[in-house]
Amino acid sequence: MHVFTSETELQDSLAVHDDLVRQCVRGEISFEQFCDKYNSYWSFYALDGHESDDEEREILERYEDRIELHRAIAFDILGPLCSDEDAKREIYVQAGRFGSIVAQQKLITLWETHRSEQC
């Protein structure tokens, strides 16, 4: 192990961050609150396994379906996110950037897709 001390810690971490997504999707917290609490989860915990030893990479692989949600959030939502002010500028739109309103809608769609695939 390297990033997580145990498989249970990974499970708990996923549960907490899945719940943050759920809360934002349901409107229980704002998108801004979500971003503050979510704290770039994918990168912060190196969920791609680049900082993990062999044992931890095996554990991450067992949870790849759950982790995929957080990869998509990182790359498809938080990566292209920009300020709401910049999201109005044509150069940002052309670059595929978007503000919080679009980001929250993308998060809702991603969550619904992810949940339906888990069933």
CA angle 59, 65, 70 (to 5 degrees): 95
**How do the pLDDT tens digits run along the chain, 119 residues long?**
678 999 999 999 999 999 999 999 999 999 999 999 999 999 999 999 999 999 999 999 999 999 999 999 999 999 999 999 999 999 999 999 999 999 999 999 999 998 877 76
Prediction pTM value: 0.92
Query: In this structure, what is the dihedral angle of CA atoms 41, 48, 26, 32, given to the nearest 10 degrees?
Result: 30
> What was the pLDDT predicted at 119?
62
Contacts of 44 (CB under 8 A, 6+ apart): none
Question: Of 115, 103, 86, whose CA–CA distance to 19 is shortest?
Answer: 115
